[in-house]
Amino acid sequence: MSRHPFDRRDFLKTAVASTAAVTVLPQAALGWSGKASGSHIETESVPGRAPYSGPPRLRFAVIGINHPHIDGQIGAVQRGGGELASVYAAEPELLAEFTKRYPQAKVARSEDEILQDGSIQLVLSSIIPDQRAPLGVRVMQHGKDYMADKPGITTLEQLAEVRRVQAQTKRIYSILYSERHENRATVRAGELAKAGAIGKVVQTIGMGPHRISLNARPPWFWVKPRFGGILCDIGSHQVDQFLYFTGSTQGEVVASQVGNFKFSQYATFEDFGDMLLRGDKGTGYIRNDWYTPDGLSTWGDGRLTILGTEGYMEVRKNNDIGRAPGGSHLYLVDQKETRYIDCSQQELPYGRLLVDDVLNRTETSMPQAHVLLATELALKAEAQATKLTFQA
């Protein structure tokens, strides 16, 4: 007997549909169509935004390319109208691969060449994590805005210095929390939550499992002082989502714990961690691990559950195991029915809004206080975590 209260063939047919939705929530607020569907699970398609095609709105550069997340960072800014002007990296082999992908980027002879270039307004970096904050400080001190890969800061001491320099210079210190900003279903869930689709958000549950490929990881990956620990690194994604969906502007770490149960040959590495958070407008539970098995079709079965007083949503970020292919799956359950929402055409606005912020000196992509509070909570969770050791 099927465990699901709907026919599997109907579900798969519905899950890949790009149109057809029942309007239950206010159409003006949510932008849903009014066409009825015959399946138990309703679908909705969301119109996207055309790619940017006008003249460049700003020039940006890259310093440090130690993590491939730099490609997503560049793509976000390019969607917002940014022009990649130059790059500097200390590693020739990384630079050679980068310039194949981005031949338009001029190779700078030094970091200082970019920092002294008055035409560069924004600097991106995916340098080794413990170097991201010091680089960001130098960028801001040279009158430029900065966008780091996560974790954007790896110690509380670095955080204090970033806060001091950011307040002094009034430059932007942004961190691309890609599990929210670069996932279409999460973006759509945010729109729905803000529109009241599930009532008041009470709690988020964020799961951030990842896969390790031993041959593909550089030596610094295994050394905690270089990446900050699992809750600082991966966990910063889920902390960002907890703050965003609950609307919390204050928060505390109720409890946290970490462990290393599979990779004991790396003394300071952590392959498991979780934390419980309490904000001024909601609560959050977060679990991170490096245990994704090779049998999964993607790097991790990332999930986000958003609990509201009138319903809940679940985002299945990278796949929907045993069901529909691909990522960015969104389910919404309210007082009337269950819906599957097709987010394939959802705009990813972070890059466009960040470019707007650079040009207009605004905070539409993310409030600066939010960026740094998400990092602060992840760092505090890491610092106070109980070290788990289980006997075999």
Ordered per-residue pLDDT tens for the chain, 392 residues: 333 333 333 433 433 333 233 223 333 233 322 222 323 344 454 556 667 778 999 999 999 999 999 999 999 999 999 999 999 999 999 999 999 999 999 999 999 999 999 999 999 999 999 999 999 999 999 999 999 999 999 999 999 999 999 999 999 999 999 999 999 999 999 999 999 999 999 999 999 999 998 668 999 999 999 999 999 999 999 999 999 999 999 999 999 999 999 999 999 999 999 999 999 999 999 999 999 999 998 999 999 999 999 999 999 999 998 887 889 999 999 999 999 999 989 999 999 999 999 999 999 999 999 999 999 999 999 999 999 998 64
Q: Tokens 């159409």 belong to which residue?
A: 27
Answer yes or no: same fold for 8-45+180-342 and 58-176. Answer: no
What's the token pair of residue 324?
């529909």
* pLDDT score at 98: 97
Which of these, 383, 367, 76, 122, lies nearest to 255 by C-alpha position?
Answer: 383
| DSSP-derived pairing of the beta strands 329-333 and 338-342 | antiparallel
3-state secondary structure of 361: coil
CA angle 190, 192, 196 (to 5 degrees): 115
| pLDDT of 290 | 96
- pTM score, two decimals? 0.87
* Rounded-to-integer distance, Cα 309 and Cα 311, Å: 6
User: Distance from CA of residue 225 to its chain's centroid?
Assistant: 22
Q: Which tokens sit at 312?
A: 């809940």
| Residue type (1 letter), 117 | D
List alpha helices for 195-338, DSSP H: 224-227, 230-233, 235-246
Cβ–Cβ under 8 Å, residues 227 and 355: no
Domain ranges of the chain: 8-45+180-342, 58-176
Contact 99, 118 (CB under 8 A): no
Task: Give the CATH class of 8-45+180-342.
Answer: alpha beta
Query: Which parts of 132-247 are beta strand (E)?
Result: 145-149, 173-176, 201-209
Query: Residue 129, preceding bond cis, omega within 30 degrees?
Result: no
pLDDT at residue number 8: 34
Residue 244: partners with Cβ closer than 8 Å, 6 or more residues away: 180, 190, 370
Q: Are 175 and 125 in contact, with CB atoms under 8 Å apart?
A: no
Helices (H), 102-144: 111-115, 132-141
Rg of the Cα atoms in the chain: 21
- Cβ count near 375 (within 10 Å): 30
Alpha-carbon span 87 to 107, nearest angstrom: 5
Q: Please count the CA atoms within 13 angstroms of the CA of 295 that sit on its side-chain side.
A: 2
Residue 291: per-residue pLDDT: 96
DSSP state of 322: T
Task: Give the pLDDT score at 215.
Answer: 67
Sequence length of the chain is: 392
pLDDT tens-digit series, residues 286-326: 999 999 999 998 999 999 999 999 999 999 999 998 887 88
Residue (of 386, 157, 388, 380) closest to 253 by Cα position: 380
Indicate the burial class of 109 (C-beta count within 10 angstroms; 0-12, 13-18, 19 or more).
exposed
Q: Sign of dihedral through CA atoms 225, 206, 136, 76?
A: positive
End-to-end Cα spacing for the chain: 38
**CA-to-CA distance for 271 and 386, rounded, in angstroms?**
14
According to the model, what pLDDT value does residue 318 have? Answer: 92
CATH number of 58-176: 3.40.50.720
Closest CA to 311 of 338, 290, 286, 288: 338
Helix (H, G, I), strand (E, B) or coil at 57: coil
Instruction: Pull the structure tokens for residue 112.
Output: 């200082």
Q: Which residues of 255-270 are buried (b: 16+ CB within 10 A; e: fewer)?
A: ebbbbbeeeeebeebb
Are the CB atoms for 184 and 386 separated by under 8 Å? no
- Rounded to whole angstroms, the Cα distance separating 241 from 237 reads 7
